């Protein structure tokens, strides 16, 4: 009987017309259906948005972790090399004692940083700034050391003392910055 009632539209209209409040039941039914449908659509949309946002956040976190790990490995490798050179720099008390004997390498020791530079922003602002500063200092120190050997300063000039002081100060800055960078990268 209920099936016949629901499937027979003219009967519904006739039944509603007979009652003074008969129009209210179909209206409430339609409104309830529309509200329920809208609510389901709203919840589905919110769920899809949250799922997409969570997936994007997981992807960003994963890229950040990989970036931090690769930069950390590069910094450790670079700083191992700079610590060895640093012993020579620290041992020299004056420019005449700074005796280095190497030529420019055929390998780019800054390849990770250079290839990931566009992603540095994944790190926090201060961490990114420290990584960039460390690489700039490392590159400048490398160039200063190569130039010390390839283009030695003229004896008896202020250039020799100035370059020597710069090399020593940069070495100290590098070692201090290395610890902070490695500690910061380990938190990702």
End-to-end alpha carbon distance in the chain: 67
What is the pLDDT, as a whole number, of residue 68?
96
What is the pLDDT, as a whole number, of residue 184?
95
What is the pLDDT, as a whole number, of residue 62?
96
Question: What is the sign, positive or negative, of the torsion defined by CA atoms of 170, 171, 177, 178?
Answer: positive
Dist. CA 46–CA 54, nearest whole Å:
12
What is the pLDDT, as a whole number, of residue 1?
45
What is the pLDDT, as a whole number, of residue 2?
47
- Residue 181, pLDDT above cutoff 90: yes
Q: How far is CA 165 from CA 75, 100, 159, 162, in A?
A: 24, 16, 10, 5
Comparing CA positions, the residue from 32, 18, 173 lying closest to residue 89 is 173
Give 24-82 pLDDT, tens digit per residue.
Answer: 888 889 999 999 999 999 999 999 999 999 999 999 999 999 999 999 999 999 898 88
pTM of this structure: 0.69
Element (H, E) at 75: helix 24-91
CB 117 within 8 A of CB 173: no
> Helix, strand, or coil here: 98?
coil
pLDDT band at 130 (very low <50, low <70, confident <90, very high): very high
- Residue 157, pLDDT above cutoff 90: no
Give 67-113 pLDDT, tens digit per residue.
Answer: 999 999 999 998 988 888 888 888 888 888 887 766 666 778 889 99
pLDDT band at 147 (very low <50, low <70, confident <90, very high): confident
> Helix, strand, or coil here: 117?
helix
Dist. CA 13–CA 21, nearest whole Å:
12
What is the pLDDT, as a whole number, of residue 178?
94
- Residue 5, pLDDT above cutoff 60: no
Phi, psi of 83 (to 5 degrees): -65, -40
Whats the size of the chain, residue-wise?
188
Place of tokens 């339609």: 30
- Residue 183, pLDDT above cutoff 60: yes
What is the pLDDT, as a whole number, of residue 122?
95
CB 149 within 8 A of CB 103: yes
Contacts of 75 (CB under 8 A, 6+ apart): 131, 134, 178, 181, 182, 185
Comparing CA positions, the residue from 94, 56, 85, 110 lying closest to residue 174 is 85
- Residue 162, pLDDT above cutoff 50: yes
- CB environment 168-188: b (16+ within 10 A), e (fewer): bebbeebeebbeebbebbeeb
What is the average pLDDT across 142-161?
A: 80
């Amino acid at each position: 009987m209920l099936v016949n009632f629901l499937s027979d539209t003219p009967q519904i209209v006739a039944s509603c017309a007979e009652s003074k409040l008969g129009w209210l039941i179909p209206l409430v039914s339609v409104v309830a259906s529309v509200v329920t449908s809208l609510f389901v659509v709203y919840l589905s949309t919110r769920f899809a948005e949250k799922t997409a946002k969570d997936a994007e956040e997981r992807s960003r976190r994963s890229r950040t972790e990989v970036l931090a790990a690769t930069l950390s490995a590069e910094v450790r490798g670079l700083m191992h090399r700079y610590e060895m050179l640093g012993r020579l720099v620290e041992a020299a008390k004056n420019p005449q004692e700074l005796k280095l004997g190497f030529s420019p390498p055929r390998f780019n020791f800054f390849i990770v940083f250079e290839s990931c530079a566009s992603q540095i922003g994944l790190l926090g602002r201060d961490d990114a700034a420290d990584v960039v500063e460390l690489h700039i200092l490392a590159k400048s120190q490398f160039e200063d050391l190569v130039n010390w050997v390839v283009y030695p300063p003229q004896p008896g000039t202020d250039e020799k003392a100035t370059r020597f002081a710069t090399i020593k100060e940069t070495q100290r800055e590098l070692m201090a910055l290395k610890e902070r960078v490695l500690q910061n990268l380990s938190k990702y």
